[in-house]
Amino acid sequence: MARSRIVIQVLVALLCVLPTVVSAYPFDPEDVPTPRDRLADFSRYLDQLRTDLGIPGMGAAMVYRGRLVYSQGFGYADVERKIESTPHTPFHIASVTKTFAAVAVLQLVEQGKIDLDAPASQYGLALPPAVRVRHLLSHTSQGVPGEQFLYDGMRYGLLGDIVRQVSGQDLEAYWVEHVFVPLGLTRTAFANGKVYAGNDLSMEAVYADVADPYRTTWRGKIEPTHYQGYTGASAGIVASVEDLARYAAALQRNELLKPETQQRMWTAQTNRAGQVLPYGLGWFVQEYAGLRVVYHYGIWDGCSSLLMLVPEAELAFVVLANSERLSSAFDFTGDRRLLSSSFALAFLHRFVLGKGKLAPLEIYASQPELLKQLAKAKAEPAGQPYALELAMQAAAYRRVGRAELAERWYGDFQLSYARRISPVLKKQRVLAAISGVQNDTSRVVTFSLTSRQRVRLLAVGESAAMQMRDYAWLVRTDSAQARTPPPLWEMKFAQTEHAGGADKNRMQQLELSLEAGTYALHYRTDESHAWLQWNDLPPLLDFYGVVVYVANSPVLASKAAP
């Protein structure tokens, strides 16, 4: 058993009665477990996730209204020697370091030493004049500066040079003096092993206790690896979850930046066309259920991390791990970003959004129990997040090779939320069908008609940027007009409608008159988001592919399921 410590420093009301600004899903103290029970359940869930994802050691902490209310260690900091992870175990935090760099830059902005809108070249950087300091801080310096978000750790790392030039200190020394020591971060140090005056004794202890790094193979085997030694604006801080929680608490209390500066930091950038980008100044920014969530994740050799704050709910959550799986199991760069993370959703759904009369989703329950929960959730507005949590966890498990659980959860999703058209299909006069198509696949079936026939087609696929990525087309193969005849029909985005679930799920139905002859029905998928291999919410239909059936059959799905 992993040694753990649950710290509850506030009264029951502090975790049960959240501000009414939270969302459409407020807590009701009469309808949820006590905080101690809820935190214990949360710990069990986190540990199950850790085990299933093959994470050797992990730490988690939660902050409410500027105070630490929960911290716990899971698994092993050192697998070989069976040294357990605790809330004091230091982990490499990888790109969560970027938030510390943003704080340093913005403190110097408040002092008038840095101008965010000045050319970065003004501070000695060999960059074009159009690249401003703001562009480096928001990952918008590539291409036309300010127009698109392109995550670039190398460019972001140049901010350390700016801090050094205007403050006279290297970035690590600046952090020690202006962040670590003022906040009492005694379990925080640097990946490069440097020790600085003012925090030297605690840093030596950190280096002695830092969690060992591991990698998890596709088959789930945990193997030792090596940390990177870089420390700079992009990565390199080492900290315990409790120290990182203290940092989050200081941000909640505006101890590091003025409130107006912090709001600028946590406001998503907008380009000239008015498009809202996913990043503010050193932080990702995302909305969920009407709430702003600011966060950063990290991943590097032997480590991964997640720090998230919900300013309006006055809550923060930290998770650190000594393998890459805390981040690599989830698609942080996809459409859902933060909401692809089972760890993030577990926190949001249990402590931020609440569930009214619904308890947290018991995703590891038996299939009958889980289906009961989902059936109850469908009848409640507060139960809508269940669908997302189930689909995202299935996607994560598929990504790490746990196909058996992923397919079971996808099946439960289909049973609970999808429109059932497969049974109807069996009663039709089907001429050709391609279904259950998986990733990176090209399939074709042929059929022949002895006379003119009116037929219906139903196709379900995936789109991206208003182009079809998984799609179908129909050609006549006995035509003498061309060696490669043009399609009689091809699935085009403009003719599709939403198929339910993620926005990219598309469907098309149409009726055609076909002459006597031989035809080939084609279906092609790209490398992601296909049958039982979804990377987002699946279509709300229990069919994925294309079918051709005679036109005197009824329309199968006149409208996507809600």
Rounded (10°) CA dihedral 345, 347, 349, 354: -170
Question: Domain coordinates of the chain in residue numbers?
Answer: 12-352, 367-417, 422-550
Q: What are the DSSP calls for 35-47, one per residue?
A: HHHHHHHHHHHHH
For residues 152 and 230, what is the distance between their CA atoms, to the nearest angstrom?
16
DSSP-derived secondary structure letter, 177: I
Which has more confidence, 335 or 437? 437
Closest by CA to 464, choosing from 503, 499, 433, 427, is 503
Q: What is the pLDDT of residues 440-485, one digit of tens each?
A: 999 999 999 999 999 999 999 999 999 999 999 999 998 765 567 8
CA-CA distances (angstroms) from residue 339 to 266, 320, 435? 18, 17, 28
Identify each DSSP E strand in 28-151 by its residue range. Answer: 57-64, 67-78, 83-84, 91-92
Global confidence as pTM = 0.85
CA atoms in the 13 A half-sphere facing the CB of 317: 25
For residues 447 and 440, what is the distance between their CA atoms, to the nearest angstrom?
24
Least confident of 12-21, 131-140, 493-502, 538-547: 12-21
Q: What is the pLDDT of residues 201-227, one digit of tens each?
A: 678 889 999 999 999 887 778 999 999
Closest by CA to 460, choosing from 557, 390, 550, 386, is 557
Q: What is the pLDDT of residues 24-56, one digit of tens each?
A: 333 333 333 346 677 888 999 999 999 999 999
Residue 301 tokens, joined: 């050799």
Say what the pLDDT of residue 480 is: 63
155 residue type, one letter: R
Mean pLDDT of 257-273: 97
* Homologous superfamily of the 422-550 domain (CATH): Spermadhesin, CUB domain (2.60.120.290)
CA-CA distances (angstroms) from residue 11 to 14, 16, 64? 6, 9, 11
Say what the pLDDT of residue 219 is: 75
Say what the pLDDT of residue 387 is: 87
Mean pLDDT of 379-392: 81
Q: What is the mean pLDDT of the chain?
A: 88
* Backbone dihedral angles phi then psi of residue 129, each to the nearest 5 degrees: -60, -25
Mean pLDDT of 482-493: 86
Query: pLDDT-derived band of residue 553, with 50, 70 and 90 as boundaries?
Result: low
The strand pairing partners of 239, in sequence order, are 91, 188
Say what the pLDDT of residue 376 is: 85
Q: How many other CB atoms are found less than 10 A from the CB of residue 348?
A: 28
* Backbone dihedral angles phi then psi of residue 206, each to the nearest 5 degrees: -60, -45
Residue 413 tokens, joined: 């999703």
Say what the pLDDT of residue 479 is: 72
Say what the pLDDT of residue 307 is: 98
For residues 234 and 263, what is the distance between their CA atoms, to the nearest angstrom?
21
Mean pLDDT of 418-428: 86
Mean pLDDT of 190-203: 81
Tell me which range, 267-276, 401-410, 544-553, is most confidently predicted by mean pLDDT.
267-276
| Overall CATH class of domain 12-352 | alpha beta
Q: Is 202 helix (H, G, I), strand (E, B) or coil?
A: helix
Q: Is residue 547 within 8 Å of 425, Cβ to Cβ? A: yes
Q: What is the pLDDT of residues 65-100, one digit of tens each?
A: 999 999 999 999 999 999 999 999 999 999 999 999
For residues 374 and 385, what is the distance between their CA atoms, to the nearest angstrom?
10
For residues 252 and 310, what is the distance between their CA atoms, to the nearest angstrom?
10
Residue 369 tokens, joined: 């129990």
Mean pLDDT of 350-369: 76
Say what the pLDDT of residue 38 is: 77
